[in-house]
Structure 1
Amino acid sequence: MRNLILSLIGVVLIVGAVFIGNKIANSKKKRRPVPEKVVKTVFTDTVKNGEVQIVIPANGNLVAKRRVELFSEVQGVFKPNRKLFKAGQKYSKGETLIRIDASEFYATVQASKSNLYNTIAAIMPDLRLDFPEIFPKWQNYLKGFNLDKTTPKLPEMTSDKENYFITGRGIISSYYNVKNQEQRLLKYTIKAPFSGILTQALVTEGSLIRNGQKLGEFIDTSVYEMEVALGKKYASFLKVGETVLLNDIEGAKTYDGTVSRVNGSIDATTQTITAFIEVKNNQLKEGMYLEANLNAKKEQNAIQINRSLITDSREVFIVRDSVLDLIDVEPVFFSDTKVVLKGIPDGTVILEKPIPGAYAGMLVKPYGKKNKAAKTKTPQ
């Protein structure tokens, strides 16, 4: 009997110890707080389709629209001029740029003119006897012949007999030989074809200039052009006469330009099309680097949003009853930062800024609106 009582007491002690141990162990467990479901606040915008101006960015360097590379067609010594032939020197239209010593060739021209005069004078007695009707006009020609001036044009031939007689005396060939020499004599003086500035000077006064030698470069500083290369997909957008806004690298100054020419062919290597933008401003210099924004065309019933808002599958997030959803869109034009879209109905609420990790069905709260969704707890 005593052993039975001891056994029962032992069982009770063991059960009590286990019970107390479990209770102590459970009392040391810390219950983790249940996280609340977070509703992200988003910036939204309401779609209103309208007219969107497509702007194509481009850049390039300015080049003078009118430029002349100066070459010599004759040989001689470069004679000093009123202005020094130096880079940066300004010249007005018609002003002498270069004078080459032509004293030797000038004497040759004068000798040829004298020979022509003597040849005509020698036939005057024959003209008086055989062709009295044409003698007066040739006599007047000799009276107007001045060795110090340009050789006047020969009298007009009125008959075949006159033509044969004059040609047979070698007068026609002598006349054109003199005119050829007079034209060559003019090449000893190079004049400015327009008002501008000398950008390159390769010779100095006193230098011996040879035939075919490059002397320098001369540009018109009133009008510049910028050549830009654009992707072939923009070829149908470009129009001559469109206004272009230009700005320097710093963005401090802006200039107004115009699309003056568009190349009719596409570069087979780069698959780009070349357009030329004309700009006038007295602050511009050749070689300046400018950025251009070309107004290509106007797209109707479209909107423009940040490029980061469109997905790779050409979808955008919209907000419908505080829940994100995806809809298909029709991209019309992509730039570096923007995209022009069509196919979104008016009144649709879209995201104004992208949300990291966004997905269809995500619960959101538009900025400025109170969240009506109850916070729920998720069981562990």
Structure 2
Amino acid sequence: MAPAAVLFGGWRWLDYLGDKGISGLRSPPRHAPRMHLPGSPPGTARAAGSSPPRNTLPDKQLIEVELIGRGHEGLPAFFEALPKESGWPPDTVLSLTDREPTEFERAERYLAALTEGQIVGALSLHPAAAGNYHRMHNLHFHIDVLPSWQGKGVGTALMRRLIEHARAEGFWRIYLGTLSWNQRALELFGRFGFRVEGLSRAAYRVKTRGGEDYFLDGIGMALWIGPRLEVKPGDWKLTAQWSEPGTGQVAYAQDGELLTEELVALHAAMGDLRHRFPRLVKAAWRQSDLVVTARLGGRLVGAARAISDRASTLFVCDLMVHPELRGQGIGSELMRRLVGPYAGLYQIVLLTDPETMPFFEHLGYMSWEYTALQLNPPRSEA
């Protein structure tokens, strides 16, 4: 029998049911959590584009993301094409300041999504002022996508490149702000591991052409990509841990690019029969809320994925480490990075088999006695 591990209100349980490979069964349907971002004024933090399909495997689209400067010839046309009300709820009566250039339009550098030479989406980069060592590890940004290109993966491509850029430039924290109505933006950033860090209650007032008058919360979100932080009980200092045991030369990434072929190969190396169903594998990983990968010399040696309602439950669907590299801390590190962004949720659930039970017990999981499950064999891909 295979155990199901659950983190419930700070405690974990495990229960045996089903057969081996149960961790690979079809996950229950997800109702995508709607999330929002912290605090800069709506005029500067525009809508982050539509929420593209949950996607950790890149779609074959003719979209290129480039680092460009303020003087790029395509920026004026892009800014002109953006609606002035971008970032505000529909039917909002704009103020005089909404018609002025925003921080988004005054940046020195951008990540731009281009197709056939036209900028269809952009992400502005705002590092701290030179000499301000207090804030040098932070990278602030805004993002916007042309309405006709929303929902086509542009936001996902920009966010993926942003995280790569921030790591390459040595930033440890990436943050932005938005308004509480912007569900699409919140879902997009939540999929990349951003967490809500602050809420400014009723920070913005909105009047509509239909006569409504109401307030919106400002929301701040951030993603920490720096060294692991530790704090001693009763202390207020967060200390960076420069070395982490067991990681060696393994490179970890959140929602990095994954090829179906390498995922299928990892499933096969694990003895997971799903390697016979490449489309199933691709769809499962694309539609996950968070994916963490481990690579050694560019080779995929481990991966973990999870889905969540972002309110009460995180379901860990898969944790895989290549058999040749087990016992080196890779699985523990994948779990830490996968669960970390959801540490405040009510429960964390996973299914596994008896052989891996000691591993999860070592991580603090305990047995839970009552679980229901329905098995649906995959359809042939022939």
Task: Report which of the two has the higher share of strand.
Answer: 1
TM-score by length of 2: 0.19
TM-score by length of 1: 0.19
